[in-house]
Structure 1
């Protein structure tokens, strides 16, 4: 296969403004209902349906297969715009885009093409990887067992199943009972053996559709039990890039809401600096700083996505050394971005209140959601460990871990 033929079948980028213009009207509609969904804790079923029908889940699928052919950075630019509208929605799609990326990295096959067709048809994939309780490190209680009638049966319970409640399929991390091997079992949600609950009780990102997934003899097609060792190498970086985009979009929402609140505010303080809040130089300074923080957050999030695109393209380039370096860069740069973004966005979400009066704390405005959501997102993949990984790489050249796990340890004494 020629180099040009390979590129034709890859997603190497498209006209971003043309692509984004397809979805911006939907983003605006999503933004209109964001505060009410936050206040009533209503899951965004309808917004996600709008995105499905518009082909949002297929933006990374190659043009040759009916998708938009967007690059990784272009995907995250879109997710930043979507996060500005409602930060819960792009996080709900985190598992979907990771599974799409995995299929993009898979060798060409009829099975891969079937998944592309599903994505283009609007089907979404959720995820269910994390188990709770005293699960040993590296272990998974969730298991797939060969079924007598063919295929497999999936049994187990997962938590943090973000977005799965909206999905047609779920990407489940499990173990084979016959070999003990780690696999991804992709299970259809359209069966009685799958029960999904919206029982995430965090103080932020409350409408991401996270919660418990229970699988009881759920049917899995043989072709949908995938060896975990074949998973795309920059997956950890990719998952983090989604969260980085959520943070950057949150910063844009903070800037939008802070500027609007100041612009519309009529009450002033006797010890202020102007006859209107919008003309008060100290308030202008606060908004200016927030705007700069949002700008930097977006720039960092997009820049950090570039190595992941290189990792994707070099996967098919025949240069193992280039691919290996791209995977290192993807992990290190996504981690660097995470560390910086957390500080930038949390500061902006807090500074918002320095520009406003006590009325900004009213629940009706839900302005506190930006800080709560950013704090929740920034709690994923602990910052201190990311900082250590970066430091070890910079000082000692120690490669970052490409897959990490969580499990039971020994309590401190």
Structure 2
């Protein structure tokens, strides 16, 4: 057992021989970080100040190794535990939670990789605090399904990668870039795990969205950057529930945004001194109409957390099915069914939660008067962040696909691409 694993075991966070730590122990370890993160969230958003220090502090504390087994030095968190903790982080700063989206998906993939030196190497990197960012989406009018980013043999046993990506969420904070590319020698689609701190890599924070301003999203450019042969991963071998996993991170962002807004709006209501002559009470915090608005916001947060938890349970089922298939305990049909269930849960959760969260956050402003729109308070960031996260992977398509499944028994797609028709 590693020194890190020994320390965490002694702290009562994980127990050797089990994959499920005590959630209270996990939460107690990271909540002080969340409190500190929340304190500066509004200012960072207002100034578009990237949270380098906050992300690094989380990584150094082991947050990026939440899912790594205890025996390998991590915390061994289950998927429901992980997503509950991620929702708490999103309530503190939803941009940081989303910035780590690619990292945790890459961790999940490596957890299910064939046991051996390559898997062990990656788990050790996660435990050491190394982070992975995203570089998947091609720039410009690339046709749907085409991959312009290429990986070519260099003749010395290594490869070179060339291309440009956008929506590179979390890449600026990362040690590695999870890059979707195509090999020029075989035509195979791969994930190239590229060291970020090398010549030939340029990462720009040029995302101009009105929300999620500090996710470290933007353009990643690769110019003859080096990729080791062992860092090329067959894309078709990635974990099957990856799309549902990515989506549940966004659902945690939505649920956390509502919870974070509830805290701030409730505080504003509690401290407000002014009222109106035609109000229902002489004290703002006792006005039943105002309290109703906050109550509705709180209920939306409760619903969001329930959705995230339900999707996480389905993801855990898909994870367990992958291990059971490998062990020969179940067949491929049962394993595929578990992945389909995870995809359906994530899609249904997205269709239900996206409009609920966005509308609840918009309605929250009815709990305050014109002062709620103060740029100094920056309360609008919660709505902006939720609206932006909700625009990923358009939920209107998911609603149609769920309907097609219900009526015509057509399975939901688990992987798709974006580009010009």
TM range (shorter): over 0.9
Cross-structure match for 1:324:
336
Runs in 1 of length 4+ with deviation above 2 angstroms? 8-13
Q: Distance in 1 between matches of 2:144 and 2:296?
A: 43
Give the one of 116, 128, 152 matched to 2:123.
116
Q: Is 1:148 aligned to residue 160 of structure 2? A: no
Q: Distance in 2 between matches of 1:387 and 1:393?
A: 10
Structure 2 residue runs of 5 or longer lacking an equivalent are 1-14
> RMSD of the TM alignment (CA)?
1.2
**How far off its partner does 1:13 sit?**
2.5
Q: Is 1:389 aligned to residue 401 of structure 2? A: yes
Instruction: Please say if residues 178 and 194 of structure 2, whose CA atoms lie closer than 8 Å, have aligned partners that are also in contact.
Output: yes
Q: Distance in 2 between matches of 1:238 and 1:163?
A: 16
Instruction: Please say if residues 346 and 374 of structure 1, whose CA atoms lie closer than 8 Å, have aligned partners that are also in contact.
Output: yes
**How far off its partner does 1:322 sit?**
2.4
Q: Deviations over 1:145-198 (max 9, x none)?
A: 001121110000000000000000000000000111100000001101111000
Query: SS of 1:213's equivalent?
Result: strand
Q: Distance in 2 between matches of 1:315 and 1:293?
A: 33
Matches within 5 A, 1:76-225: 76-225=83-232
Matches within 5 A, 1:369-380: 369-380=381-392
Cross-structure match for 2:3:
none
Q: Deviations over 1:48-79 (max 9, x none)?
A: 01101100000000111111000111111011
Cross-structure match for 1:290:
297
**How far off its partner does 1:12 sit?**
4.2
**How far off its partner does 1:400 sit?**
1.1
Cross-structure match for 2:284:
277
Q: Distance in 2 between matches of 1:132 and 1:189?
A: 19
Q: Distance in 1 between matches of 2:242 and 2:24?
A: 27
Cross-structure match for 2:355:
343
Q: What's the TM-score, normalizing by structure 1? A: 0.96
Q: Is 1:268 aligned to residue 275 of structure 2? A: yes
Instruction: Please say if residues 152 and 185 of structure 2, whose CA atoms lie closer than 8 Å, have aligned partners that are also in contact.
Output: yes
**How far off its partner does 1:299 sit?**
0.8
Q: Deviations over 1:214-250 (max 9, x none)?
A: 0001000100111111010000000001000000000
Q: What's the TM-score, normalizing by structure 2? A: 0.94
Instruction: Please say if residues 336 and 390 of structure 1, whose CA atoms lie closer than 8 Å, have aligned partners that are also in contact.
Output: yes
When the two structures are aligned, how many residues end up with a matched partner?
Answer: 402
Query: SS of 2:138's equivalent?
Result: coil
Q: Is 1:228 aligned to residue 232 of structure 2? A: no
Instruction: Please say if residues 94 and 256 of structure 2, whose CA atoms lie closer than 8 Å, have aligned partners that are also in contact.
Output: yes
Cross-structure match for 1:405:
417
Query: SS of 1:385's equivalent?
Result: helix
**How far off its partner does 1:9 sit?**
10
Q: Distance in 1 between matches of 2:234 and 2:354?
A: 34
Query: SS of 2:254's equivalent?
Result: helix
Query: SS of 1:195's equivalent?
Result: strand
Greater shift after overlay, 155-164 or 400-409?
Answer: 400-409
Q: Distance in 1 between matches of 2:108 and 2:405?
A: 26
Q: Distance in 1 between matches of 2:409 and 2:19?
A: 30
Cross-structure match for 1:28:
35
Instruction: Please say if residues 175 and 197 of structure 2, whose CA atoms lie closer than 8 Å, have aligned partners that are also in contact.
Output: yes
Structure 1 residue runs of 5 or longer lacking an equivalent are 1-7
Give the one of 61, 65, 81 matched to 1:58.
65
Q: Is 1:72 aligned to residue 84 of structure 2? A: no
